[in-house]
Amino acid sequence: MKSHLPTHVAFIMDGNGRWAQKRGLARLKGHAAGVETVRSVCEELSKLGVEYVTFYTFSTENWKRPWEEVSGLFTLMRSYFKSELNTIIEKGLRIRFIGDRGEGTKLPADILELMNEVEAKTAHNTKLHATFAINYSGRDELLRAARKLAAEGTEITADTFETALDTHGLPDPDFIIRTSGEQRISNFLLWQIAYAELYFCDAAWPDFTATHLQAALSAYTTRQRRFGAVPATTAA
Ligand code: IPE
Ligand code: IPE
Ligand code: MG
């Protein structure tokens, strides 16, 4: 299986709210259950030998949600990274964050500090590179990159542009998995997914298990990636 594994899997973790509402629970309970899925997906991917994973955690559009939900999400992030940090280090995960952390960011100061701490303390780990997109959207990232290069007066080439993106140093995702039945990208990694394979799963994120992950990865093995070229077997 390993030779057919994607190098980088990215998740649009969707359906937490509906998962909770269906059970008569507050939406935040769905987010709390979703944290467990993040933990188990990291565990499974590490076991399988996948090298990179990215989780769409909080989009720049998610600020439109009620403040109670937004602040509840930050509380969950705080407790996850605080309580898990030692385990994350022991397990050899390298954590990175993408998204707007610049001047004027709406992210709470202590969350920014925690993000810096987690990145610094895991910087030398190599087992699984896990990236969390927080206060992130693809268009916002592209605009920030373009503004940065313009402000520096740097010539825009594919290389300089990639270097200015939040994801610099990470390989492009090979495989995007979105849970909960919605079939859209919702402003995720717009530059980086140019040739990613897409997979949509009906299970809500809190219900996404190792079995769903296996099914997704086995679907990936059947995809023929062509990158605009003619497949070798049919070339005239
Ligand atoms: C989680 O799912 C994704 C986040 C934005 C944190 P949702 O909260 O979007 O759940 P649904 O789509 O409303 O069910
Ligand atoms: C995408 O999910 C954002 C994250 C997973 C963080 P949303 O639930 O916000 O997307 P839409 O509104 O259904 O497109
Ligand atoms: Mg949603």
In a domain, 231, yes or no: no
Q: How many residues does the chain have?
A: 236
Within a domain: residue 78? yes
Q: How far is the CA of 17 from the centre of ligand 3 (A)?
A: 7
Any domain includes 143: yes
Query: Is 226 among the domain residues?
Result: no
Atom of ligand 1 nearest to the CA of 15: 14
Residue of 165, 174, 154, 158 lying closest to 223 (CA atoms): 174
Tokens of 224: 């023929």
- pLDDT at residue 30, as a whole number: 98
Q: Is the pLDDT of residue 118 over 60?
A: yes
Ligand 2 center to 57 CA (angstroms): 9
227 in any annotated domain: no
Residue 33 lies in a domain: yes
Burial 88-109 (b: 16+ CB within 10 A, else e): bbeeebbbbbbbbbeeeeebee
Q: Please answer whether residues 138 and 205 qualify as being in contact, where contact means their C-beta atoms are separated by less than 8 angstroms.
A: no
Residue 87's domain comprises 2-221
pLDDT confidence tier of residue 235, bands split at 50, 70 and 90: low
Is residue 163 in contact with ligand 1, taking CB distance under 6 Å? no
Q: Which atom of ligand 2 is nearest to the CA of 17?
A: 8
| Residues pairing with 12 in the sheet | 56, 178
Ligand 2-lining residues (CB < 6 angstroms): 12-14, 56-59, 62, 182, 184, 186
The residues, any chain, with a CB within 8 Å of residue 45's CB and separated by 6 or more, are: 9, 53, 128, 213
Give the chain's domain count. Answer: 1
Please check whether residue 5 is in contact with residue 48, taking contact to mean a CB–CB distance below 8 angstroms: yes
Q: What is the reported pLDDT for 1? A: 47
Q: How confident is the model at residue 234 (pLDDT cuts 50, 70, 90)?
A: low
C-alpha to C-alpha distances, 46 to 52, 80, 127, 132, nearest whole angstrom:
9, 18, 7, 16
Closest CA to 134 of 94, 205, 78: 78
Could you tell me where the beta strands, DSSP code E, fall in 62-183?
93-98, 128-136, 175-178
Q: Tell me if residue 62 is catalytic.
A: yes
The residues with which 48 forms a beta bridge, in sequence order, are none
Q: What is the pLDDT of residues 167-185, one digit of tens each?
A: 999 999 999 999 999 999 9
Q: DSSP strand E in 111-150: where?
A: 128-136
Q: What are phi and psi of 177, to 5 degrees?
A: -115, 125
Percent of the chain predicted with pLDDT > 90 = 96
Residue 234 falls inside a structural domain: no
pTM exceeding 0.75: yes
Domain containing residue 167: CATH number = 3.40.1180.10
Residue 19 pLDDT > 90, yes or no?
yes
Q: How far separated are the first and last CA of the chain, in Å rounded?
A: 31
Specify if 232 maps to a domain: no
